[in-house]
Structure 1
Amino acid sequence: MTLATGIGSMPGDDDRDYAEAVRVTLGELPHLAFVPELPGRGAIANMTGRALAVVDGLGVDLQPAGWRLTDASGVDHRRARSLLAQDLDQVEEQAQGYAGAFKAQVAGPWTLAATVEKPRGDRVLADHGARRELAQALAEGLRGHVADLRRRLPGARRLVVQVDEPMLPMVLAGAVPTASGFGRHRTVHPPEASAALEEVLGAIADAGAEPWVHSCAPGVPWGLVAGAGARGLSVDHSVLGAGDLDALAQALDGGLVVALGVVPSTDPASVPTDAVLIERVLRWLDMLGLDPAVVGERLVVTPSCGMAGASPEWSRQALSLSRDVAGHL
Structure 2
Amino acid sequence: MTLATGIGSFPGADQRDFDEALRVVLGELSLPFLPEVPGRGAPAGMIGRTLGLVTELDADLQPAGWRLTGTSGAPPVDQRRARSLLAQDLDTLEEQAATYAGTFKVQVAGPWTLAATVERPRGDKLLADHGARRDLAQALAIGVADHVADVRRRLPGAASLVVQVDEPSLPSVLSGAVATASGFGKHRVVHPPEASEALGWVLDAVRDAGAEAWVHSCAPGAPLALVRGAGAVGLAVDLALVDADGHDALAEALEAGQTVVLGVVPTTMPEDPPTPKALVERVLRWLDLVGLDPEAVGDRLLVAPACGLAGADGTWARRAVDLTSSVARALG
Give TM class, smaller chain. Answer: over 0.9
Match of 2:323 in 1: 321
- The residue correspondences of 1:1-329 to structure 2 (distance < 5 A) are 1-29=1-29, 31-70=30-69, 71-72=71-72, 73-329=75-331
Indicate if the aligned counterparts of 1:28 and 1:316 stay in contact, CA closer than 8 A: no
Instruction: Calculate percent identity across the aligned residue pairs.
Output: 68
Query: 2:28 corresponds to which letter in structure 1?
Result: E
Query: 1:274 corresponds to which letter in structure 2?
Result: P
Indicate if the aligned counterparts of 2:203 and 2:231 stay in contact, CA closer than 8 A: yes
Query: 1:39 corresponds to which letter in structure 2?
Result: P
Q: Bigger shift: 62-71 or 132-141?
A: 62-71
Could you tell me how far 1:243 is from its partner in structure 2? 2.2
> Equivalents in 2 of 1:20, 1:248: separation in Å?
33
> Equivalents in 1 of 2:320, 2:93: separation in Å?
20
Q: Deviations over 1:243-288 (max 9, x none)?
A: 2111111111111100000011111222211110000000000011
> Equivalents in 2 of 1:218, 1:153: separation in Å?
35
Q: Deviations over 1:56-103 (max 9, x none)?
A: 211111112111111132111111111110011111111121122110
> Equivalents in 2 of 1:176, 1:18: separation in Å?
32
Q: Bigger shift: 262-271 or 119-128?
A: 262-271
* Structure 2 counterpart SS, 1:25: helix
> Equivalents in 1 of 2:141, 2:85: separation in Å?
20
Q: Bigger shift: 224-233 or 67-76?
A: 67-76
Indicate if the aligned counterparts of 1:106 and 1:162 stay in contact, CA closer than 8 A: yes
Q: Bigger shift: 60-69 or 257-266?
A: 60-69
Q: Bigger shift: 47-56 or 192-201?
A: 47-56
Indicate if the aligned counterparts of 2:222 and 2:242 stay in contact, CA closer than 8 A: no
> Equivalents in 1 of 2:271, 2:288: separation in Å?
28
> Equivalents in 2 of 1:14, 1:261: separation in Å?
27
Q: Bigger shift: 139-148 or 56-65?
A: 56-65
Query: 2:47 corresponds to which letter in structure 1?
Result: T
Indicate if the aligned counterparts of 1:68 and 1:119 stay in contact, CA closer than 8 A: yes
* Structure 2 counterpart SS, 1:132: helix
Q: Deviations over 1:144-186 (max 9, x none)?
A: 1000000111111121000000000000000000000000000
Scaled by the length of structure 2, what TM-score is found?
A: 0.97
Indicate if the aligned counterparts of 1:66 and 1:116 stay in contact, CA closer than 8 A: yes
Indicate if the aligned counterparts of 1:98 and 1:155 stay in contact, CA closer than 8 A: yes
> Equivalents in 2 of 1:102, 1:86: separation in Å?
18
Ranges in structure 2 where 5+ consecutive residues have no aligned partner: none
Scaled by the length of structure 1, what TM-score is found?
A: 0.98
Query: 1:126 corresponds to which letter in structure 2?
Result: A
> Equivalents in 2 of 1:101, 1:317: separation in Å?
23
For the aligned residue pairs, the C-alpha RMSD in angstroms reads 0.8
Q: Bigger shift: 61-70 or 109-118?
A: 61-70
Indicate if the aligned counterparts of 1:6 and 1:302 stay in contact, CA closer than 8 A: yes
* Structure 1 counterpart SS, 2:328: helix
Query: 1:286 corresponds to which letter in structure 2?
Result: D
> Equivalents in 2 of 1:95, 1:268: separation in Å?
33
Could you tell me how far 1:196 is from its partner in structure 2? 0.5
Q: Bigger shift: 235-244 or 1-10?
A: 235-244
Number of equivalenced pairs:
328
* Structure 2 counterpart SS, 1:121: coil
> Equivalents in 1 of 2:193, 2:257: separation in Å?
24
> Equivalents in 2 of 1:106, 1:323: separation in Å?
24
